[in-house]
Structure 1
Amino acid sequence: MNLLLDALAWLFSPDRLEGSNPLPHAMLVHLGYTFAAVAIAALIAIPAGWVIGHTGRGREIAVGISGAARAIPSFGLILLLVLLLGVTRRAEAALIAFVLLAIPPILAGAYAGLEAIDRRLVDAGRAQGMTEWQILWRIEAPLGLSLLVAGLRSAVLQVVATVTLAAYVNLGGLGYDIIQGLQLRRFEQLAGGAIAVAILALVLDGVFAVLQRAAVPAHLRAAKRAPKRRPHSVPAAA
């Protein structure tokens, strides 16, 4: 309990606004790497996922690649990329590692959102003369948006936790306080840095939870809220 109180006191002390790694700057760096990685991953994974979900082809390959990417240790991947690209490009190396971590959940959310759509709606669109592009944009993408946002939510949470490793290659962020606290055996600083990352992750999770709920089409939300009517019992014939 004392460690928790000391960690909170360290985290919210006025000194955290000054020094070589002030809290606002560390949080901006952390968010910068997080959203840059997720944005790049989304540009790659969303089109690929939509193609898989729309055509029904390549799902097994996507699942295999996603599983392999998730099995790669993030810390080892960052160090390997730093060695391959050079110390002067350690920021690019870390960003590539974060992008590779963010791709699998976004890819899964993109194609799962389209696969979950009732095929009768797609067939109805084709029957009305809609092109495949129109079916994707007017039917599949809006109806699959909720699961896509869920994939983005999962990617953001995974990346925001992993960005703490960027401090190992001297890129700053909230992980800097954790690593420095461990080296200096200042456990209140270590715990305070971990609490800061946890708070940031919870805030982002709450924001994406709201976005995921908002991504559900209005008529589907209304259908869920509508009370189910019980069938009237038919009296037995005398």
Structure 2
Amino acid sequence: MGVLGDAWTWLITGSNWSGEGGALSRLGEHVYVSGVALALACAIALPTAFYLGHIGKGGALAVNISNVGRAIPVFAVLALFMLSPLRNAGYVPTIVALVLFAVPPLLTNAYVGMREVDRAVLEAARGMGMSGRQLFLRVELPLAYPMVMTGLRSASVQVVATATIAAMVGQGGLGRIITAGFNTYDTPQVVAGALLVALLALLVEGVLVAVDRVLDPSPSAAVSRARPPGTHDGAPNGVPSDALSPGDSLPTGDSLPRDRVTKTV
């Protein structure tokens, strides 16, 4: 049947999914490690990026520092932990390595998204009397949302794919299926483990794309949130809707009294 056929046979064999070291148990471990690492990375990167992007200071330095994590191999971080007292701390070394790996795309995309918000829009919002908190929640965050989600999807897929390294230090996850296959020269098992990792990464990507489409604020929604209460599309920014009666229009140069029109030579 070939390697792929044998891998499929491995995947549909029930005994390979049951037990403490079965594929289902390894899948749960993989999701746990990936989820914890991604949650910690979001807790570190997103508030930092939002704050620095909002005040417009220190962002470039923070992005450059976070990018150091991209230059350091994840396995090298694990190797350092194996030489430290934390080598017996369970999943801690793997989670720390994955957090360092996930922070750069999250921080960079969120910061860039905040800084790419049109300055004219921000000035208009300030002119309408918005506070800093209102400006962030109603204008900056909705407009930066696409870039934030792009960074989240990128980091999520990378973390799910890289979490297999936990097996290199004796921890769980789908990587244990792959390493066990290598140890026993079982190529179909190796391929089956790799397929499970790839499918999980694709599933995470698909879920985040669906969430993005559901939560993505449309431009009209963002404008509506930015408009103060009591205004509508027929009135200029900052003019209450009840200031214009139905059928009224704003005065123009032709409708102003003659004595209020200045002729420029």
- What is aligned with 1:154? 154
CA shift for structure 1 position 59: 2.7
- What is aligned with 1:128? 128
Any idea what the Cα deviations from partners look like across 1:188-238, whole Å, max 9, x if unmatched?
1111100000000011111112222334322469xxxxxxxxxxxxxxxxx
Alignment of structure 1 residues 1-238 onto 2, 5 Å: 2-219=2-219
Q: 1:216 to 1:19 in 2, by over 3 A?
A: closer
Structure that is richer in helix per residue: 1
Query: Secondary structure of the equivalent of 2:84?
Result: helix
Gap regions ≥5 residues in structure 2: 222-265
CA shift for structure 1 position 169: 1.5
TM-score, length basis structure 2: 0.79
Gap regions ≥5 residues in structure 1: 222-238
Query: Secondary structure of the equivalent of 2:191?
Result: helix
Q: Which has the larger radius of gyration?
A: 2
Q: What amino acid sits opposite 2:43 in the alignment?
A: L
Q: 1:220 to 1:10 in 2, by over 3 A?
A: farther
- What is aligned with 1:230? none
TM-score, length basis structure 1: 0.87
For 2:57 and 2:219, locate their aligned partners in 1 and report how far apart those are by CA, in whole Å.
30
CA shift for structure 1 position 125: 1.4
For 2:62 and 2:207, locate their aligned partners in 1 and report how far apart those are by CA, in whole Å.
28
Contact kept, 8 Å, 1:106 with 1:152, in 2: the verdict is yes
Contact kept, 8 Å, 2:23 with 2:177, in 1: the verdict is no
Amino-acid identity (%)? 37
Contact kept, 8 Å, 1:82 with 1:89, in 2: the verdict is no
Q: What amino acid sits opposite 2:152 in the alignment?
A: L
For 1:213 and 1:114, locate their aligned partners in 2 and report how far apart those are by CA, in whole Å.
20
Any idea what the Cα deviations from partners look like across 1:169-198, whole Å, max 9, x if unmatched?
221110001011111111111111000000
